[in-house]
Chain A
Amino acid sequence: MASVTHDVVHEGVAEKARVAQPYMNPYLAGIGLGLVLLAAFVLVGRGLGASGAFNSAIAWLVSLVAPGYARSNEFLSAYIEEGTHPLKAWLVFEIAGAFVGALLSGLLAGRVAVAVEKGPRVSVGTRLALAFVGGGLMALGAALARGCTSGQALTGGSLLNLGSWAFMTCVFGGAYAVAFFVRRQWR
């Protein structure tokens, strides 16, 4: 009995320690992110990215199942090089680092917890279905645009790239245009 009480108290303490810290000031976080991006420009001569890592991963998976098809597919073959593993790509390593960096930040702030993010008026099933559909739509958009919010908006934006600014304007436009129709998911 005594040990049970002890456990409960112990859990209570752990619960308190796990209370998440507030997020960083957006301008400070933005300066941090900007300096990371600048470091990428100076060190390597390219910016940040995310969707490209997915392209490499899919090219690798397809090449496992159907190597001939993967090499003949015009989109995938750009991510396959003879004699090199498709996952030995810059963006794959960068995204692996991003996973570690986010985990590190989350652990330091007490923000790592298994959860489903959604508004109070929508079921977990609906939310997960919409997350999958949204991810799929975004993949089509990122593939067409040759980059996503990182590779196009952030990287190309800071280099004053014409296509990136057109892209970025349309991302905000597209999101604001449909926000009303999916508001029940979030609010």
Chain B
Amino acid sequence: MSAPFYKLGAFGDEASLIVAFLIGIGFGFFLERAGFGSARKLVSQFYLNDLAVFKVMFTAIVTAMLGVTYLSWAGFLDLSLVYLVPTYWVAQVVGGLLLGVGFVVGGYCPGTSVAATATGKIDGLVFVLGFAAGTLGFALAFPLVKGLYTAGDIGTKTLPQVLGIPYGIIVFAVVLMAVGGFMGATWVEKKMAGRAVPAKATE
């Protein structure tokens, strides 16, 4: 095993921050390339006339998932050293629903709002400020929301562990699901194209 390099001591904390900055550049670059600095492009996902959010997200998930799987099978990457967020399923279900509502009301998610701000979107900047205010509010109210925050604690769990199905089979199933989803998404886009007249993008 030679990776993850940082966790195996190939470089230190200071260097890891430089790596963070460089990885961030790639992250922001591809978000903007995909059109995710635009709120109208992002929320089109929820009105079904442009499903790029689903396509980009699941292509990225499948790409990284296959990479991790093969590198781990090849004995290059120690997957047990890659950080997994522990599952608090109640908190994550409620949080996910709230985040989805915030997405279609606000037009962005945290990462894409940064890409929007970088490319001059005033609404992106206001979203960032709203997100900061919400984070502060959550922190101040933490004693009140701690019960919900820690609800559904079942520790670090992966789908293969919970379903009792081998890792490789789940990987294969996710790939099939993604490919099926892409075909379905393109079909929906074509259906919707006949209906809506796209309005002016910005004002």
Residues in A lying within 8 Å of B, measured CB to CB: 23-24, 26-27, 29-48, 50-51, 53-55, 57-59, 61-62, 73-76, 88, 90-91, 93-106, 109, 111-120, 124, 127-128, 130-179, 182-183, 185-187
Contacts and interface: CB of A to CB of B under 8 A. Distances in A.
Contacts of A132: 106, 126-127, 129-130, 133
B106 A130 contact: yes
B106 to A, nearest CB: 2
Question: What secondary structure prevails in chain A residues at the interface with B?
Answer: helix
Interface string B120-156: 1111101111111111111110110110110000101
A173 B104 CA distance: 11
Contact of A37 (B60, B109, B137, B170): B60
A185 B119 CA distance: 21
A137 B25 contact: no
Contacts of B110: 50-51, 53-54, 138, 142, 148-150
Contacts, number: 548
Contacts of A149: 57, 99, 103, 109-112
Q: Nearest 9 CB-CB pairs, A to B?
A: A134-B106, A97-B24, A30-B59, A174-B100, A34-B63, A135-B130, A139-B134, A170-B96, A145-B95
Contact of A157 (B61, B92, B122): B61
A183 B60 contact: no
Interface of B: 3-7, 16-35, 37-41, 43, 45-47, 52, 55-65, 67-68, 71, 77, 79, 81-89, 91-124, 126-140, 142-143, 145-146, 148-149, 154, 156-162, 167, 170-171, 174, 182, 196, 199-203
Given A102-B28, A162-B89, A175-B46, A133 B105 contact: yes
A168 B99 CA distance: 10
Given A102-B29, A145-B94, A160-B167, 15 more contacts: A34-B60, A39-B26, A100-B24, A113-B202, A114-B120, A138-B102, A139-B102, A140-B98, A141-B102, A146-B95, A158-B68, A172-B100, A175-B45, A186-B47, A187-B196
Given A102-B114, A171-B103, A112 B119 contact: yes
A66 to B, nearest CB: 11
Nearest to B136: A58
